[in-house]
Amino acid sequence: MEYGLIGEKLGHSYSKDIHEMLADYTYDLCPLSRDEFKSFMSEHTFKAINVTIPYKQDVIPYLDEIDDNAKSIGAVNTIVNKDGKLCGHNTDFSGFMYMLKKHNIAVEGKKCVVLGDGGASKAVVAVLKKMGAREVIIVDIRKTESAITYEECFAHHTDAEFIANTSPVGMYPKCDASPVDLRKFPNCSAVADVIYNPLETKLVAQAKELDMIGVNGLEMLVAQALYAVEFFLDTKLDESKINEVYQTIYKAKDIR
């Protein structure tokens, strides 16, 4: 494999379609078990790869360099092999920021809740802080140093004004699930879900029903892919390609 995506389960991924629309190379999907992941990263015979759940943090010890953006986030989703040297980047940050700006979602001075505490969550939190959020609360299924539980969230933080879902709850094939009931958050005006399969999660559908802005993760996926291609090929692409590819993929995959 020269270019592609590694992760544990990739059957739901649209990344191959997106990359092959953005660039002139074959992009392979490479699902890896934990043991296969270790061998793959040790051999590193690829030219450039993207990384998804659950390896965005696990790849870091294998890297020779990591840029400041990825370092501050603590997660890597893009790796370029430069003459045997592995260089790590994070384009989830730019992809999520693109999505918020595209939909005029302002978080400055607002209380934000981020569901999930994995690699994508770290990029989303970094964006929210960069864009001036007043407070960012991370929620996960278990309490950690960085995250509170859902029970704590419902007890103390239902005044959140923006919610981002970075957890896998609601992802294909378990599309009937939703991480929270948005009726518990009467002050919330916008919801962004990084899940892109299904195109409209139960969470985003409920947001729209409640007259909130509801955004799916496909735009973020396409945007982060474009920024990854720029690293892969050491080039600059026109950002207008993001919407062009997004519209093409959306029409092809739309289940309505």
Which amino acid makes up residue 219? E
CB 92 within 8 A of CB 26: no
Directed axis angle between helix 240-253 and helix 218-233, to 10°?
Answer: 130
Q: Which of 56, 110, 122, 202 is catalytic?
A: 56
DSSP of 231-249 = HHHT----THHHHHHHHHH
Q: Can 184 be counted among the known catalytic residues?
A: no
Taking the mean position of all CA atoms in its chain, how far away is CA 81? 22
How far apart (Å, rounded) are the C-alpha atoms in residues 49 and 174?
A: 27
N- to C-terminal Cα separation, the chain? 35
Which residues are bridge partners to 135 per DSSP? Answer: 111
Q: In the structure encoding, which two tokens stand for residue 85, read together?
A: 């040297």
Q: Which residues contact 205 (CB under 8 A, 6 or more apart)?
A: 214
Q: Which residues are catalytic?
A: 56
